[in-house]
Chain A
């Protein structure tokens, strides 16, 4: 039954690519319905699994592993784990995926690649669900690459746009750097322990069999995969560019699901990674730094989707910070065993859960504004509040939730992370608090620039039929997501994941931490209000007075330049590639030319033999027989 969660969307992909696209291409809407039916099926099964897990002993549903391959004595099984972590993830993934597919019917209407789009989306959903359910690293890695492939295909969906093709390639190459470390870690662990099974690896790590530098190296290798996939520093550069893909893709893949796979991976491997103090400290520092680093770039971005992309990177950093902070508490002995391991997963996954709803809401909202204006550039928007009331209200709810305003979803999950960070990593805690301020600021900067003031787009930017609210099929998913963006924080996700989190609706307001983060958030909103609505301060003059800093931010800390000009051009092209070039010219080409000469010579011989004359062919058969006989009598 649990396998069906993966197989349904996979089946939908196969049906669309091998039946609907070749034979019913004139009725593309069929592929959308197929996808939606399959995902509804997955969602129902996921909810069933969630309930069953809740009732099961130890919160784990056991399922049979099937033998997949046996090469010699090495047996590789296909198996799935349905525990509370996986159950939360499959429900999140299938819910968001379903809403995004419904939205896509409206958003992608009339696109020539409609069926192709839904085929990729199905394949993506199947891979993502498989990634979450896999019980061994090899199987997980297969799906990990699967979602990476789908991301590549979907970012470059409009491949005729050169920026899209370039962004797809960039995403693929940059994440591959992290995946390389991940793959090396998997092989390394297999060589050391002889198993790919995640449960067994945890047991080995907790028992201390797997420890020392072996464990640290493997844990950092696995984390490097997560860094690539979740766009953490220094592999963050691909995610903002990935916004060239269709907006529903950004909402599903680059906000709610695939990019969270990195966080999921660290959570899944948490007992193992947290057993190495070095590795878990790296996780905390990278997470905390990415959170504030990405937020600063979000302050100045002018493309609404890029603001959201930086925000996603920043929030993923938060989740990593939550895992890292608890892990440091565990590794330094402040927290005791089982409780710490569940607590870390609980705070990070709770934020992942709420973030999935409000961030996909914000992405879909930005898509709705672009549906009206034909652009994502906030400088050409403004005043949409009046024409798009639904989009406006839902977008504001999402922004408030993201800014961590009580009692919306983001508040609860963010509090959990801040609380742990305060306890175990004080420095990172203060960075996170500043990030709260920045987050509130850039989100409301976006709200005010997009929806308030006067429309600045002029005629040429907008669709011919003028500004309008989006159709129902786009609004309904927004409203549903907005409801979740409010209530998702009230759900007992933390308890379900095994950590005792005391939820008290008003009681939360009694701690100083809550008041501190709320004040930081409200301050951010107010500042945005002062600058962009009341215009008491001019954004331009602030930018000028902070000249070099502003340039640094708007040029994204020169990371693209660093990677492309320095790393790729100087280091790779002038350095390593030059060496390869030499090897290629003198050694490879030399031998290829040699082989070519031999082949040509061989070809001449063959040509002489292959005269097309039957007698020669017949003669060859007899010479062959004689040769075999001679061989036999000589050697036997």
Chain B
């Protein structure tokens, strides 16, 4: 048992506790935000010091490999951007600011664990750690909308957890083990392939995880929760929570259920088609930009699932690459929205009219991110779609890719409509938009990343390939 392998998670947990403790002594609460941001350097250093290792610990329940380390950095980066964009937003909370920051850090801890555990019970614990932190954060504003969103998220999350537990129990009952490797070995050894009980277990696991990644028909919580939650948390949910879901799906389905890949590959293909279509079509009708991005994130889950449906290493690496591109883009969009909404106190798309004249930089940044979400070059979104679609074609999922391309065209309608309103509409007032320096830094990082990945995706793609290389179909 090598505790050092767990050092990124432990240090992040410690950081969360330090922030809560500091709250008792420090009067100027803004310091807490910066402590949590700067403190993130510690787990990053621990992660980097582990780079290149390929070991397991805790009796095989914890794996430190390229995949988990990649996602460690991913979640730490997303947490940093969310914290940066929260520094100003957090002033809206009357109290409990330390808890807000600490919960973001705790959720990140859970997500990091999700990417590195290889044992079903630990996965469940990590899921709950992530989930409960996020339920609380969703309701943090304490206005009726936010509270309702938090409660809904909690109750539906509990339903999903129950479903997931049923699935786990079925798999455990069939194979006699909760370790992912053991499950795969038992499926092959005992000829469980095609047994209805195993299929049932797989379906329940898909449903449980489907809730996390917001796949149709387990997406219904998304619009309400996204609209009600504090905007930085919406960004966090749409990016990190979804990525954690995909990370754990890759882990579980490749390592434990690899032998049954024909079955779950087909489920994901069908879910992908339905999810992207429902997400895009309903997004057209949205008038609230946060709700629109909620449906957009459902559609994105659809594109991402192509990477699961294809069941090739190429597809997994394209999926990981897509996650990184999507993370930067969506965070960029939400951060720009935080800046603008803080000023105009509205999330209605019509209130963004003529925004380019009031806040040219923020409007341009938002436009860039929306263009990236549409998948137009030279942005990260374009590269992400190219790679995941070509992986789909190579895996003989041409029908799915055609549906995805049609969906991309449909999505241009609602993304670019916002751009049109911002650039061609008449401004409703002349007031400019000013945001905190933390927020501007976060926005600059996201937009630069979106452009950089759109122009030179090669390096990240190599990382994604290394990360995905641990899964052999």
Chain A interface residues (CB < 8 Å from chain B) = 14, 18-19, 21-23, 66-69, 71-72, 595, 598-600, 602-603, 606, 609-610, 612, 614, 617-618, 620-621, 623-625, 627-629, 631-633, 635-636
B200 within 8 A of A: yes
Proximity bits, B188-221, A CB within 8 Å = 1, else 0: 0000001010011001101100110000111011
Give chain A residues whose Cβ lies under 8 Å from the Cβ of B267: 628, 631-632
Q: Which of A612, A621, A629 contacts B217 (CB 8 A)?
A: A621
Shortest CB-to-CB span from B99 to chain A, Å, is: 26
Give chain A residues whose Cβ lies under 8 Å from the Cβ of B163: 621, 625
B395 within 8 A of A: no
B266 within 8 A of A: yes
- Contact between B207 and A621 (Cβ–Cβ < 8 Å)? yes
Give chain B residues whose Cβ lies under 8 Å from the Cβ of A23: 437, 440
Give chain B residues whose Cβ lies under 8 Å from the Cβ of A635: 266
B interface bracket (residues with beta carbon within 8 Å of A) = 35 or more
Q: Given A603-B285, A610-B223, do A636 and B152 touch, yes or no (CB 8 Å)?
A: no
Docked pose: A602 CA to B216 CA in angstroms: 15
B18 within 8 A of A: no
Shortest CB-to-CB span from A468 to chain B, Å, is: 35
Q: Top 6 closest A-B pairs, CB basis? A: A624-B217, A617-B220, A18-B444, A625-B207, A618-B159, A603-B285
16 new A-B contacts at CB < 8 Å, known A612-B224, A621-B220, A632-B267: A22-B361, A22-B444, A68-B456, A598-B281, A614-B155, A618-B155, A618-B156, A620-B220, A621-B156, A621-B211, A624-B216, A624-B218, A625-B204, A625-B207, A628-B271, A633-B196
Proximity bits, B209-243, A CB within 8 Å = 1, else 0: 01100001110110110000000000000000000
Q: Which of B394, B440, B448, B458 contacts A22 (CB 8 A)?
A: B440
Shortest CB-to-CB span from A43 to chain B, Å, is: 25
Give chain A residues whose Cβ lies under 8 Å from the Cβ of B160: 621
A-B CB contacts (within 8 Å), total count: 95
Docked pose: A595 CA to B409 CA in angstroms: 14
Docked pose: A117 CA to B440 CA in angstroms: 21
Q: Which of B207, B440, B444 contacts A624 (CB 8 A)?
A: B207
Give chain A residues whose Cβ lies under 8 Å from the Cβ of B121: none
Give chain B residues whose Cβ lies under 8 Å from the Cβ of A610: 220, 223-224
Q: Given A23-B437, A68-B456, A625-B204, do A632 and B199 touch, yes or no (CB 8 Å)?
A: yes
B412 within 8 A of A: no
Shortest CB-to-CB span from B220 to chain A, Å, is: 4
Proximity bits, B101-145, A CB within 8 Å = 1, else 0: 000000000000000000000000000000000000000000000
Q: B residues 330-367 with Cβ under 8 Å of A?
A: 361
- Contact between A632 and B156 (Cβ–Cβ < 8 Å)? no
Docked pose: A621 CA to B156 CA in angstroms: 9
Shortest CB-to-CB span from A168 to chain B, Å, is: 15
Shortest CB-to-CB span from A342 to chain B, Å, is: 35
Can you spell out 30 A-B residue pairs with CB atoms less than 8 angstroms apart? A18-B444, A19-B444, A67-B458, A68-B458, A69-B458, A599-B281, A600-B285, A602-B281, A603-B285, A609-B220, A610-B223, A614-B152, A614-B156, A618-B155, A618-B156, A618-B159, A620-B218, A621-B156, A621-B160, A621-B163, A621-B217, A621-B218, A624-B210, A624-B216, A624-B217, A625-B163, A627-B217, A632-B266, A636-B263, A636-B266
Docked pose: A147 CA to B424 CA in angstroms: 25
Of all chain B residues, which has the CB nearest A610?
B220
Shortest CB-to-CB span from A76 to chain B, Å, is: 11
Docked pose: A67 CA to B457 CA in angstroms: 11
- Contact between B386 and A71 (Cβ–Cβ < 8 Å)? yes
Q: B residues 254-273 with Cβ under 8 Å of A?
A: 263, 266-267, 270-271
- Contact between A18 and B448 (Cβ–Cβ < 8 Å)? yes
- Contact between A629 and B200 (Cβ–Cβ < 8 Å)? yes
Docked pose: A489 CA to B361 CA in angstroms: 46
Docked pose: A612 CA to B361 CA in angstroms: 37
Of all chain B residues, which has the CB nearest A632?
B199
Give chain B residues whose Cβ lies under 8 Å from the Cβ of A18: 444, 447-448
B174 within 8 A of A: no
B472 within 8 A of A: no
Give chain B residues whose Cβ lies under 8 Å from the Cβ of A620: 217-218, 220
Of all chain B residues, which has the CB nearest A606?
B282
- Contact between B156 and A628 (Cβ–Cβ < 8 Å)? no
Proximity bits, B148-186, A CB within 8 Å = 1, else 0: 100010011001100100000000000000000000000
Give chain A residues whose Cβ lies under 8 Å from the Cβ of B221: 617
Q: Which of B271, B282, B390 contacts A71 (CB 8 A)?
A: B390
Of all chain A residues, which has the CB nearest B202?
A632
Give chain B residues whose Cβ lies under 8 Å from the Cβ of A603: 282, 285
Proximity bits, B384-408, A CB within 8 Å = 1, else 0: 0010001000100000000000000
Docked pose: A71 CA to B457 CA in angstroms: 12
Docked pose: A603 CA to B282 CA in angstroms: 7
Q: Given A71-B386, A602-B281, do A629 and B155 touch, yes or no (CB 8 Å)?
A: no
Q: Which of A14, A67, A618, A631 contacts B448 (CB 8 A)?
A: A14
- Contact between A602 and B282 (Cβ–Cβ < 8 Å)? yes
Give chain B residues whose Cβ lies under 8 Å from the Cβ of A69: 457-458
Give chain A residues whose Cβ lies under 8 Å from the Cβ of B444: 18-19, 22
Shortest CB-to-CB span from A311 to chain B, Å, is: 36
Tell which of A614, A625, A627 has the most Cβ of chain B within 10 Å. A625
Shortest CB-to-CB span from B184 to chain A, Å, is: 20
Docked pose: A590 CA to B284 CA in angstroms: 17
- Contact between A628 and B206 (Cβ–Cβ < 8 Å)? yes
Shortest CB-to-CB span from A349 to chain B, Å, is: 30
Give chain A residues whose Cβ lies under 8 Å from the Cβ of B210: 624
Docked pose: A599 CA to B458 CA in angstroms: 39
- Contact between B207 and A628 (Cβ–Cβ < 8 Å)? yes
- Contact between B386 and A599 (Cβ–Cβ < 8 Å)? no
Give chain B residues whose Cβ lies under 8 Å from the Cβ of A71: 386, 390
Q: B residues 288-344 with Cβ under 8 Å of A?
A: none
